[in-house]
C-alpha cells in the first residue's frame, strides 16, 4: 500500500512540473448578473481609424545612446505606457452570462493616439478603456488585431500624447539589460528590470506558435501583456506577451521582438488586418485518437474541416475530411505545420498539396490568394 502511495505522489509531483504557457492578462469577475440588453456589441474593427498613409514617427531627433541608469530609462518611457481595461461577456457551465473585466497594458507609438498591445488583451472584448499615466481615461477603438502574432493596435481620440520610439531588436545581445513596464496585476503601471536570456525563441500558446521572441528575466506578471520591453536607451525593443508558469520556474518571460512587430503594426494601421497567403480551409490536427474516432486513413496530418466558397482550396478540389500530409514537398504532421508552410509562401504562388482521402493518396495544385478581410 505504501509503495502504491509513493508512486501516486511521484506522479503528482511530475505533473506539477509540466510547463505551461499563459498570457499576461489579469481577469476580475464581475457580479454574476446578465448583461443589460442595451450593452454595446463586442468591440470590433470597422476601419474607422485605419490610415493607409501612416508611418512610424521620425527617429532622427532621438538619442540612441544608453541612458545613465535604470531610473532615467523608466522616467523616459513611463509616460507613454498605458493601462488597458476590457470587459468580456462569458458563459458559465449552465450557459448563464456574466461580465468579466481584464487588465492589460499598451504603449503609445505616436502623438495621434495609436497604441500597441496584445491581441489576447482585447480579444472578444465588449469595450476597451485606456488610462494614461497622468490619470486621464479614454474609450479605445480597436484598429486591428492579428491572432497569429498576438498583436493589436488601439486608437484613442487624443492628440499631443507622449509616445515611445521603437528601437532595433536585432541589436540586442544575450546579457543586455532590459526593462519591462506594464499594468502588473491591474494595480497600475510599474517597472521591473532583467536581462536578455535568449533571442529568436519560439513558444506555442494554445496551439499558436509565436516566433522571434525575446526571452527575459525581467519579472512579468498578469496585467503586463501588451506592455513594452525597453532597452537602456529607452527604446521599445519588444512587446510583452507570455511567460512560463510552473512550480519552480522563474524568470522566463517572453516579448515579441519589435522588428517582427513593426510590419504587422503598420499593416494593422493601414488596413485593419494583416494580408497573408490564403488557401481557404479550416483545419484540425490529426493524431491517433482523432484518426480512430473519424476513421481516417492516416494518424497524422492536417484534417480539413471546412472549405471556404470561392477559395483556392475549393478550386483545387479539396473537400472536408481530406487530410493534408505533404505541402510543397514538406511533410505535414500537424495543423500548425500546414499553416506555417502556407505563411512561408507568396500570394499568387502555385503550390503542390498531397492529401489522403478515404484509402487513396492524391495530389492537387492550388494558387494561393490574398487573405480576405476578417470582417468580410
* pLDDT number for residue 28: 55
| CB-CB contact of 366 with 347 (8 Å) | no
Answer yes or no: do 249 and 137 share one domain: yes
Range of the domain at 307: 277-370
* pLDDT number for residue 198: 95
Max Cα distance, the chain (Å)? 73
Answer yes or no: do 53 and 176 share one domain: yes
Tally of CA atoms within 13 A in the half-sphere of 320 that contains its CB: 7
Determine which one of 49, 80, 146, 150 is catalytic: 150
Q: Which of 271, 305, 321 corresponds to the end of one domain?
A: 271
CA terminus-to-terminus distance, the chain? 62
Tally the domains of the chain. Answer: 2
C-alpha cell at 333: 504532421
Q: What's the rounded Cα separation, in Å, for the pair 262 and 116?
A: 10
- CA nearest neighbour of 75 among 221, 222, 196, 189: 189
| CB-CB contact of 231 with 195 (8 Å) | no
* pLDDT number for residue 242: 86
**Residue 169 DSSP symbol:** G
Determine which one of 83, 225, 260, 311 is catalytic: 225
Tally of CA atoms within 13 A in the half-sphere of 258 that contains its CB: 22
Active site residue 225: yes
Tally of CA atoms within 13 A in the half-sphere of 148 that contains its CB: 14
Active site residue 202: no
- CA nearest neighbour of 241 among 100, 72, 104, 44: 104
* pLDDT number for residue 236: 97
* pLDDT number for residue 41: 42
Answer yes or no: do 159 and 195 share one domain: yes
Per-residue pLDDT 10s for the chain (376 aa) are 434 434 444 444 444 433 344 556 565 555 444 333 333 344 556 567 888 989 888 765 555 678 889 999 999 999 999 999 998 888 888 888 888 888 999 999 999 999 999 999 999 888 999 999 999 999 999 999 999 899 999 999 998 899 999 999 999 999 999 999 999 988 899 999 999 999 999 988 877 788 899 999 999 988 999 999 999 999 999 999 887 766 666 668 999 999 999 999 999 999 999 999 999 999 999 999 999 999 999 999 999 999 999 999 999 999 999 999 999 999 999 998 899 899 899 999 999 999 999 989 999 999 999 998 876 5
Determine which one of 80, 83, 105, 120 is catalytic: 120
Q: Which of 241, 271, 301 corresponds to the end of one domain?
A: 271
What is the domain-level CATH number for residue 347?
Answer: 2.30.42.10
C-alpha cell at 104: 492589460
- CA nearest neighbour of 186 among 74, 98, 105, 89: 105
What is the domain-level CATH number for residue 100?
Answer: 2.40.10.120
Active site residue 120: yes
For residue 209, being part of any structural domain is answered with: yes
DSSP character string of 94-148: TS-EEEEEEEEEEEE-STT-EEEE-HHHHTT-SEEEEE-TTS-EEEEEEEEEETT
For residue 376, being part of any structural domain is answered with: no
Q: What's the rounded Cα separation, in Å, for the pair 360 and 363?
A: 10
For residue 8, being part of any structural domain is answered with: no
Is the dihedral angle over the CA atoms 204, 205, 208, 209 positive or is it negative?
negative
Answer yes or no: do 253 and 335 share one domain: no
Amino acid at each position: 500500500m505504501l509503495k502504491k502511495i509513493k508512486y501516486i505522489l511521484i506522479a503528482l509531483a511530475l505533473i506539477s512540473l509540466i510547463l505551461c504557457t499563459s498570457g499576461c492578462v489579469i481577469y476580475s469577475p464581475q457580479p454574476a448578473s446578465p448583461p443589460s440588453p442595451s450593452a454595446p456589441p463586442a468591440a470590433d474593427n470597422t476601419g474607422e481609424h485605419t490610415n493607409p498613409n501612416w508611418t512610424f514617427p521620425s527617429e532622427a531627433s532621438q538619442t540612441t545612446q544608453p541612458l545613465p541608469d535604470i531610473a532615467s530609462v523608466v522616467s523616459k518611457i513611463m509616460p507613454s505606457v498605458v493601462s488597458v481595461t476590457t470587459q468580456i461577456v462569458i458563459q458559465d457551465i449552465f450557459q448563464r452570462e456574466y461580465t468579466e473585466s481584464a487588465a492589460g497594458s499598451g504603449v503609445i507609438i505616436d502623438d495621434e493616439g495609436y497604441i500597441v498591445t496584445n491581441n489576447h488583451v482585447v480579444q472578444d472584448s465588449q469595450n476597451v478603456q485606456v488610462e494614461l499615466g497622468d490619470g486621464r481615461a479614454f474609450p479605445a477603438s480597436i484598429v486591428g488585431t492579428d491572432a497569429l502574432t498576438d498583436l493589436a493596435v488601439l486608437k484613442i481620440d487624443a492628440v499631443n500624447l507622449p509616445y515611445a520610439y521603437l528601437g532595433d531588436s536585432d541589436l540586442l545581445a544575450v546579457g543586455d539589460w532590459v526593462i519591462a513596464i506594464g499594468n502588473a496585476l491591474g494595480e497600475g503601471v510599474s517597472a521591473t528590470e532583467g536581462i536578455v536570456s535568449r533571442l529568436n525563441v519560439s513558444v506555442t500558446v494554445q496551439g499558436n506558435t509565436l516566433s522571434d521572441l525575446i526571452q527575459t528575466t525581467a519579472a512579468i506578471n498578469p496585467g503586463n501583456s501588451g506592455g513594452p520591453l525597453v532597452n537602456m536607451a529607452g527604446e521599445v525593443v519588444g512587446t510583452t506577451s507570455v511567460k512560463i508558469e510552473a512550480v519552480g520556474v522563474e524568470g522566463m518571460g517572453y516579448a515579441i521582438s519589435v522588428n517582427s512587430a513593426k510590419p504587422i503594426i503598420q499593416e494593422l494601421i493601414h488596413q485593419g488586418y494583416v494580408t497573408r497567403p490564403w488557401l481557404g480551409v479550416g483545419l484540425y490536427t490529426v493524431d491517433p485518437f482523432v484518426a480512430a474516432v473519424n476513421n481516417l486513413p492516416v494518424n497524422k496530418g492536417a484534417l480539413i474541416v471546412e472549405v471556404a466558397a470561392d477559395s483556392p482550396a475549393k478550386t483545387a478540389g479539396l473537400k472536408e475530411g481530406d487530410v493534408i500530409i505533404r505541402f510543397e514537398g514538406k511533410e505535414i504532421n500537424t495543423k500548425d505545420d500546414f499553416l506555417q508552410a502556407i505563411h512561408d509562401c507568396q500570394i499568387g504562388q502555385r503550390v503542390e498539396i498531397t492529401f489522403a482521402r478515404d484509402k487513396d493518396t492524391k495530389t492537387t495544385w492550388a494558387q494561393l490568394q490574398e487573405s480576405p478581410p476578417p470582417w468580410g
